[in-house]
Amino acid sequence: MKVNVKIKRFNPEADKRPYWAEYSLEVRETDRVLDVINQIKWEMDGSLSYRRSCAHGICGSDAMLINGVNRLACKILVRDLGEVINIEPIRGLPVLKDLIVDMEPFFDSYKAVLPFFINEDPEPPTERYQSAEDREIFDASTKCILCACCTTSCPVFWTNGRYIGPAAIVNAHRFIFDSRDQGADERLQILNQSNGLWRCRTAYNCTEACPRDIPITKAIEEVKRELLWRRA
């Protein structure tokens, strides 16, 4: 089928402002958007810049705003979009070139919530056991691939780039509710700061955007409740 693809492009070394570049090409309807972009780059315009790696929805590097919705380019088929495909960089992070944004502010928020296991007890002779029920409590949060689809679809983040964002809260949730971890108080204190989780206005954009189907808004609400419960 023939598709018309518009890509918002920007080269800070050559362009004063972003502009839409248009490409018309023949693709298969079972192609993914990543295949289409690859075809444009490899056969039509080698200067097009974007991130990708695994091509299978695992690495999280090809998040883009596709027809107005944040998605991974490797997880969306052309036939689900139709003949007109508009592609922009994800919003709220500085554009470095074309579809590549500066992910550092996003990863700074991720790092701020101490996204690693904390336990000061002496190491046990065997594994630190956990029941299946306790593991289930944070199971969904372990599935995050740090693609930033959630944070960059959040209207609060668009207007306040210092909001810690849903991805960081999901990754805090993963450890706060881990029965073996001892760092919950510290993480909750970090999330309780002025640009922390209370900025969330329950917009749900994050949950709708997540390619891993993580119930992000629910996780945020659980962390809010935990914070209130511990302060009571």
* Backbone angle region of 114, left / alpha / beta, with phi > 0 → left and psi within -120 to 50 → alpha: left
- Please give the Cα distance from 224 to 198 (Å, whole number): 8
Using CB atoms within 10 A of its CB, is residue 231 exposed (0-12), middle (13-18) or buried (19+)?
exposed
Looking at residue 49, its amino acid is S
143 binds ligand FES (CB under 6 A): no
**Binding range to ligand F3S, per CB under 6 A, among 28-36, 100-108, 177-185, 204-212:** 204-212
Q: What CA–CA distances, in Å, run from 199 to 46, 52, 113, 191, 226?
A: 41, 31, 16, 10, 16
Of 135, 130, 157, the C-alpha closest to 220 is 157
57 binds ligand FES (CB under 6 A): yes
Binding string to ligand F3S for residues 12 to 51, with x set by CB under 6 A, is what?
----------------------------------------
91 touches which of ligand F3S, ligand FES, ligand SF4, none (CB within 5 to 8 A by kind)? Answer: none
Pick between residue 65 and residue 220 the one whose CB is nearest to ligand FES: 65
Query: How far does CA 162 lie from the centroid of its chain?
Result: 16
Chosen residue from 6, 8, 41, 52 binding ligand FES by CB under 6 A:
52
- How many residues bind ligand SF4, per CB under 6 A? 15
Chosen residue from 119, 182, 189, 202 binding ligand F3S by CB under 6 A:
202
170 binds ligand SF4 (CB under 6 A): yes
Are 87 and 137 contacting, i.e. CB atoms less than 8 angstroms apart?
Answer: no
62 binds ligand FES (CB under 6 A): yes
- Please give the Cα distance from 79 to 66 (Å, whole number): 13
154 touches which of ligand F3S, ligand SF4, ligand FES, none (CB within 5 to 8 A by kind)? Answer: ligand F3S
Q: Is the dihedral of CA 142, 32, 41, 102 positive or negative?
A: negative
Residue ranges in contact with ligand F3S by CB under 6 A: 154, 156, 166, 200-206, 217, 220
Residue ranges in contact with ligand SF4 by CB under 6 A: 60, 144-150, 167, 170, 209-210, 212, 214, 216
